[in-house]
Amino acid sequence: MQSILPLPAQPVKPGTSTGQQFWHSATADRTEKTIDSYSPADGQLIARVHLSTRADYDRVVEIAQAAFAGWRLVPAPRRGEIVRQMGDQFRRYKRELGTLVSYEMGKSLQEGLGEVQEIIDICDFAVGLSRQLYGLSMHSERPAHRMLEQWHPLGVVGIISAFNFPVAVWSWNAMLAWVCGDVCIWKPSEKTPLTALACQQIIGDVLRNNDVPEGVSCLVTGGRDVGEWLARDPRIALLSATGSTRMGKAVAEAVAGRLGRSLLELGGNNAIIVSEHADLDLAIPAIVFGAVGTAGQRCTTTRRLIVQDSIYNDVKKRLKHAYAQLRIGNPLDESFHVGPLIDTQAVAGYQAAVKAVYDQGGRFVVEPGVLSGLGFESGCYVKPCIAEAENHWPIVQHETFAPILYLLRYTTLDDAIAQQNGVPQGLSSSIFTLNMREAERFLSAAGSDCGIANVNIGTSGAEIGGAFGGEKETGGGRESGSDAWKAYMRRQTNTINYGTTLPLAQGITFEL
């Protein structure tokens, strides 16, 4: 595959992405370790990227700290203007970057383009936000006093992103952090390093043309060791981490050990409840897309379908018919609905889950399988499948990052909600019903315990205007819209005495 962005042909070594230089010289050193990025679409080697050493990492943090000293003093609307220009650059390169996302990660081209659109949308959101970082004013109990609160930048923000959304989730964090006055160090997934390097290159002219300090946008590459450096480093004011619950627990423990701040977006085990009052013509497409989109590798993927007894067989029949229409193949070919899993390790996870379904008493109504032969040479293509199961089974309680949908029954709405909530994760949820009382019950305090609860739409496809995140083992973090910006700033309460006396709060008197 030819380069779709002006990327170097030789192995590259990322350092800071700055207003001066994005690519350090890349003479290969046999003693240096590299990440080999292979496309799951065809198994081809795309790029070889050098890993950051500990010395590289420390240098990047020092440069970021120095940049923060000046960046925090740039007026927020001016920072927003720079982000606006970044949004224009992503508009310019939407097709190219979306294609690279699709090729390196394996999601369909439409989803790759949609991911770049998310970057553009969050840029637009952040521009408006740059003029709305509001504090409050409060009345003081003391005469001739004024109280207020204001928000200040935190400092260096670390961003650990996952392979399934290799660029969008970075942008949710970075664009908001930048308008808030923070600087960013990004550790992309070691499975998708090239898309991260491409993003840094795309914003290069914007940073250079606006004389942005070196270190405002930085990149470090590597695996678990780099994540641990970020988590344990007291110089990192906030660490935003997206990934598995296992990873998130390790990050949370390390950051809490130094009394730092973390923002966690972790696993999801998302369910759709289908009521007997549902419009099935609306529900079936949402279920199928939620279950097979990105080959089941979204944190918001629909993994459990909880169906009312009276329509269970009808829903099952419709789903079998819909799954029979799915076309699996090269994600760059828009005639295909489903692309590959990220790598053969993910395929092994899919196979282990299939075995667990059989071992725990399940039955597949749409059969699983690993595809091979012409067009499937990478070994990463699997069949989306549906299994009849029970909510309490260990495999159903577990999040498998693959297109496996578990079909469950319910009798009463209380039963359905109990099953929906009866897993360790709490990210996204949905109910399909035309009954207003059922919908409102699902959205009430006694309903879904997830961070996202939808009515008559699926579990995936969140818009950037609302805060994104979940509860329980999903980590409790919130990114993107609403007031998620507050996570990237520190609150300060101020009291100003403009009088000639010094009254104390609570009526306390003190005389010398």
* 87 Cβ neighbours under 8 A, 6+ residues apart: 119, 120, 123, 124, 127
| Interatomic CA distance for residues 473 and 269, integer angstroms | 10
Q: Which two tokens stand for residue 511?
A: 């005389």
Return the CA Rg of the chain: 25
b/e code 162-179 from CB counts within 10 Å (16+ = b)? bbbbbbbbbbbbbbbbbb
Backbone torsions φ then ψ of 262, nearest 5 degrees: -130, 150
| Interatomic CA distance for residues 347 and 178, integer angstroms | 38
Provide the CA 501 distance to its chain's centre, in angstroms. 53
* 374 Cβ neighbours under 8 A, 6+ residues apart: none
Q: Which two tokens stand for residue 506?
A: 């609570």
| Interatomic CA distance for residues 51 and 162, integer angstroms | 17
**C-beta of residue 251 within 8 angstroms of C-beta of residue 262:** yes
| Interatomic CA distance for residues 373 and 397, integer angstroms | 33
Enumerate the active-site residues: 265
**C-beta of residue 330 within 8 angstroms of C-beta of residue 99:** no
